[in-house]
Structures are given as C-alpha cells and as structure tokens.
Amino acid sequence: MPQSPSEKALIPFVSVENMMRLVHHVGIETMLVELTDVIEEDFRRWESFDKTPRIASHSREGVIELMPTSDGVLYGFKYVNGHPSNKVEGLQTVTAFGLLAKVSTGYPVLLTEMTLLTALRTAATSAMAARHLAPKGAKVMAMIGNGAQAEFQALAMKVVLGIEEVRLYDIDRRATEKTVRNLEGSGLRVTACTSAQSAIEGAAIITTCTADKQFATILTDNMVGAGVHINAIGGDCPGKTELHRDILLRADTFVEYPPQTRIEGEIQQMAPDYPVTELWRVVRGEAEGRRDAGQITLFDSVGFATEDFSALRYVREKLKGTDFYQEIDIIADPDDPRDLFGMLQRAR
C-alpha cells in the first residue's frame, strides 16, 4: 500500500515567499502590464463568466468575503478580508488567498496567497480603467491613502498610463514617508503633500485608497475640477465610502458589476437607478468611455471576482517551468475512489 500521496493528491501551492520570488522573476512592472492585459481580456469576454455579488460576512471590525466565478472551464474563488483597524495590532487591513479548479472534475489546479496578488490585480484593474477613462496625456496622479496598495497603484499608472508624478497624502505622515521611500528609484517624481487638497493640485488622476469602516469624505465636490479621472478604490463595503455624493452628481460613473457595486461602492449613496456604465462595455467599444476633456470620470472600484480569476490564471501560466511553488496534498487519493476509509489506514 503506498505511504505517500500520489500525483492525483498534489496541487501547486504558492506561498507568500514564492509569490515574492515570482514577482521579482517576472519584474513587477512587466507583471503589472501583463496583468492589466489579462484582466482586460477577461472583461472583453464578460458574458462567459458566472457572476454574483461577493458573499460578505460583516462584523463591527470589518468584513470577510468570498469571491467566486467560473468561465465554464476553470472555477476560481478568493477569500479576502477588510479590517481597517487591524493595523493598530500590526496586522494587514487586507489579506487573501485563492484557488483555481477544473470545472470538468472539480479538482483544484492552484492554491495561492493572494494578498500581494490582490494589490497587483487591483492596481492593474485601476490602470485598465484609466486607460479608457483618464484624460489623454495624463502625467500627474494624486494618491490619497498611502497604505499597502499605494505603491502598486502608482507603478501601474506609471507603466500602463505614462504617469510621471505622484502626489501623496495620508492622514498618517509615516505612511506617506514609507511610500516616498518605496518609490525611490521607480522613475516617478514623488511629492509628499500635507493635505488632500494640495495633493490633487494639477493632478489629472485622483486615486483614493483609504481604509475606514464608516462613511468618510476624502474628497468634497469643491476639490474636484473639470476633466479629472477619479480612481476610487477604498469605498468597497456597505457604509464605507470616500467621496461626497455631490461629486457623483457631476461625474460619469463606471463600475465593474452593478449588482455588487450598488451594495458596496460609492454609488450606495445614490438612488438605485443612478446611471452607471459597465466597464466591460467600454472595453469592448460598446459604450463610451471618456467623451470630452471637461468630463469627470469616476471608476467606482470595489474589486470583482473576474479580476481575481484573471490573476489566478495568469499566475498558473507563469509558474510553468519555475520552482516558485510547493506541491501539497489537499486532495484525497484512495487507490480505489470508493475506499476512502482504506486510504485512512496508510497513516497507521
């Protein structure tokens, strides 16, 4: 009787350490560009996917979410949390892991950390949206909220959009200092600002990426001039928003999956029939993105399951021919499929 698991039991597992190695192996800028394209590819075949608003379990401190989808060939899900007060205890606000499986057998083909991958895919999704919505030739981005996601956002906007300067602001000066340090040598001009108002001066793109469990007003209407693109990342839960609603009255709003965004996004502040454009339709050329230079465009980002699916299938491809994974046996492999009890005896 075999004592060790067979091939059937094993699936590749990407630890945080191996994900870090993979990112450096590919190169973070290359990875952001490639992820942007893979995510866009999947937005282009939107109707191939099973879609549902993510399944959220809320508590006073935060939220734990499951994000499933399938394209009929592969099935994927991500487990992710959002706990803004975690950082007080030295813990991440957002952590995640995810899995990809074959639809034909239900057998997993990849299990991976997704904390880093979420930061990468969120930045790539922002860049993809900005590619269609930001004013032509945008060179300056304001980055309000300088936490875990910040550098990824800045780098993606640099490599995909050609942003040359980021203007940083965070209520916690240490977060801004950390981001300045991390972006040294990135080729971006980095300016630390002392208020949100000064950060957005001259910015064609305004990214808000703050974490607060309650309705916050990071941007008020008077702060937002004509022609800018707002990339609103941090409002992604019921009761958790970043923009004053008056901004939404002046902006054209673009979303991932309306049934989820109406629950979680900035537009939860608006009537249920507040008009939005689905980003996939813009990507496919079926709906207008940026119309003119004076228009305010808003990407009301909450993060959708297909983006994680795209990231998972990308990582699966990139692992080929590398050793940036371990084989782990998470599938039972009895010699006779019906003899699960018999398999148990292997460990005696």
Q: Is 170 in the site for ligand NAD (CB under 6 A)?
A: yes
Q: Report the nearest approach of ligand NAD to the CB of residue 81 (Å).
A: 9
- Give the number of residues written for the chain: 348
Q: Which tokens in the block code for residue 198?
A: 């000064």
Residues 9-28 interacting with ligand NAD (rule: CB under 6 A): none
**Can you spell out the DSSP letters for 45-70?**
TGGGS-----EEEE-SS-EEEEEEEE
Q: Which of 236, 292, 308, 335 is catalytic?
A: 236
Distances (CA, A) of 302 to 55, 111, 210, 265: 13, 23, 13, 6
Q: Is 100 in the site for ligand NAD (CB under 6 A)?
A: no
Any idea what the Cα angle at residue 287 is, between residues 245 and 240, rounded to 5°? 25
Q: Report the nearest approach of ligand NAD to the CB of residue 176 (Å).
A: 8
d(CA 125, CA 48) in angstroms, rounded, equals 19
Q: Is 53 in the site for ligand NAD (CB under 6 A)?
A: no
Q: Report the nearest approach of ligand NAD to the CB of residue 79 (Å).
A: 14
Residue with smaller CB distance to ligand NAD, 66 or 319: 66
Q: Which tokens in the block code for residue 80?
A: 């992710």
Q: Report the nearest approach of ligand NAD to the CB of residue 28 (Å).
A: 17
d(CA 143, CA 136) in angstroms, rounded, equals 19
Q: Are 217 and 242 in contact (CB under 8 A)?
A: yes
Q: Which of 40, 236, 266, 308 binds ligand NAD (CB under 6 A)?
A: 236
Q: Report the nearest approach of ligand NAD to the CB of residue 45 (Å).
A: 20
Q: Which of 38, 128, 159, 216 binds ligand NAD (CB under 6 A)?
A: 216
Q: Which of 140, 145, 257, 289 binds ligand NAD (CB under 6 A)?
A: 145
Residues 275-304 interacting with ligand NAD (rule: CB under 6 A): 301-303
Tell whether the torsion through CA atoms of 60, 63, 64 and 65 is positive or negative: positive
Interface region with ligand NAD, contact rule CB under 6 A, candidates 22-30, 87-95, 278-286, 288-296: 87-95
**Can you spell out the DSSP letters for 190-238?**
EEE-SSHHHHTTT-SEEEE----SS---SB-GGG--TT-EEEE-S--BT
Q: Is 308 in the site for ligand NAD (CB under 6 A)?
A: no
Tell me, by CB under 6 A, how many residues bind ligand NAD. 29
Residue 31 burial (10 A CB sphere; 0-12, 13-18, 19+)? buried
Q: Which of 160, 233, 283, 305 binds ligand NAD (CB under 6 A)?
A: 233
The answer to whether 172 is a known catalytic residue is no
**Helix, strand, or coil here: 338?**
coil
- Which residues of the shown chain bind ligand NAD in the complex (CB under 6 A)? 82, 87, 93-94, 118, 122, 144-149, 169-172, 175, 209-212, 216, 218, 233-234, 236, 301-303
Give catalytic residues, as residue numbers. Answer: 236
